[in-house]
Structure 1
């Protein structure tokens, strides 16, 4: 993670692994790295992506052209930060586009599905309305940090409140819980619905 922050000795070890396919430790033992995939991440060029927040919008061909220009700037920055002997040993450099608000919808759906699946053991079923999903996205969307704050928003506004409601007996096994935004818009509201077939 963030290979640009690695100590030069670590980069030197990686050069050995990438060149020879093995690493020799201080005791002379050889560790085989053939058939191994090494993935390194870097934030080199992240500021370039941040400055170009319009990427991905507009006419399709225009957005693609804009992405290519940004990609070239990032590759230039990468060449400035890393030594050529290191870059030449890498098979590929993959540049990810920043997460947009639209991407967060899919991520919040995954997070809510995970919460629902964990609480199925307690025989609880959840119905999240669109307002509750938008609320979590609003609280957890950060263009700079991606989806990490969204996970914390789900914990803070959903999981913590649910845990309190379950422990207090406000929510009981077998119930269907409708989740929406409360009246003041500062939290989530849980209301019990009748299970289907009751």
Structure 2
């Protein structure tokens, strides 16, 4: 009887040891599986970071083609936007808030339109506030809405959630209908933005608005929420808020160092550095510190050089060709070097201070108007080539 008990006791010990061994092996397998899963997750995260790095490169390349001569400014905006999509993002603030300062016609508003094109496929797919229309305090109600019971309380404010989400909603509808993303950048950035209604808000010439508008935007810039007149909060944590200011013209007019919107090629880098410091000084005098301190970026857009205007000229002519093709009237327009030089020279002399807008007007007047006359008169046919050259010091058009 005693022997049986001893044998029984020995068998229980064996079972205990065996169970411990099995548990040890199971724990080892679990640790190994966890390590494999961790490596897989790390690989996925690294792959995601790699995609984000690619999106940054593609976005910077796209903006460099669209906004000529403003590498520093668009570099700041690109880095700020991509940073907000990384693990460093503060999810209680907008994706990006930027004040873009510089003379007129150098690409500030065009930056917002370029972002709308790359993200939504249309340059007007954003909420635009023209601050020249809101110079009186009571006019801010058009943007934020009126309190209940007041005049205009039944009117939808410009910064309502419905208006902000309209481009994003249209994009999602198009995707559900089988249409592709506007770009690979759009898919990567919007899918990482947090799942909300990605939006672009352009506040144009913000210095012209009544200071009440600046104060009203403080909550949106700091906490990502905007309080409307009816006390409803609008979520702006998925918004890219871009504000432009021509305050720089005060500094440039005062300095008279070069025509507004253009830079003298000689000593350009030193001159732009001086202008930037002057512009930033005027900006700090124009806007209150509590407004400027809530911005992610204050980007300086420098005056354009003649070489940069020449690139913009080529871009404008490319747009002219595109419009002819879209209208079903394909015509090849060739511009000689001397004709191009004359347009640039006339722009620098007659459109002082208007940058690319001034160049566009000169192209319309010196090339667009006579070309339209030839088309209307029936001298140009589909598939024709129009040669634009210089004859006796003036622009001359011939058809071949």
TM-score (ref. length: structure 1): 0.83
- Please give the per-residue CA displacement for 1:90-137, whole angstroms capped at 9, x wherever unaligned: 111111110122211001101111112222432321211112212222
Aligned partners of 1:99 and 1:143 also within 8 Å: no
Tell me if the contact between 1:49 and 1:98 (Cα under 8 Å) persists in the aligned partners: no
Alpha-carbon distance between aligned partners in 2 of 1:86 and 1:45, rounded to the nearest angstrom: 17
- Who is 2:321 aligned against? 116
- Name the SS for the 1:127 alignment partner: strand
User: After the TM superposition, which segments of 4 or more aligned residues of structure 1 sit over 4 Å from their partners?
Assistant: 63-66
- Is 2:277 the partner of 1:72? yes
1:180: Cα distance to partner?
A: 1.1
> What are the superposed Cα offsets for residues 122-177 of structure 1, whole Å, 9 maximum, x if unpaired?
23212111122122222333341211111111222222211111111112222222
- 8 A Cα contact 2:339 2:389, kept in partner: yes
Q: Please give the secondary structure, in 2, of the residue aligned with 1:37.
A: strand
Cα distance in 1 for residues equivalent to 2:370 and 2:265: 36
Other-structure match for 1:173: 382
* 1:149 aligned partner: 358
Distance 1:98 1:9, change over 3 A: same
Moved more, 11-20 or 47-56: 47-56
Deviation at 1:68, TM superposition (A): 3.6
The structure, 1 or 2, with the larger RCO (C-alpha pairs under 8 Å, 6+ apart) is 2
Larger Rg: 1 or 2? Answer: 2
What corresponds to 2:295 in structure 1? 90
Q: Which 5+ residue runs of structure 2 have no aligned equivalent?
A: 1-203
Give the match's secondary structure for 2:397.
Answer: strand
1:189 aligns with 2:392: no
Quote the RMSD (CA, aligned, Å): 2.2
CA drift at 1:179: 1.0
Aligned to 1:137: 344
Q: How many residues align?
A: 187
- Structure 2: distance between partners of 1:171 and 1:24: 57
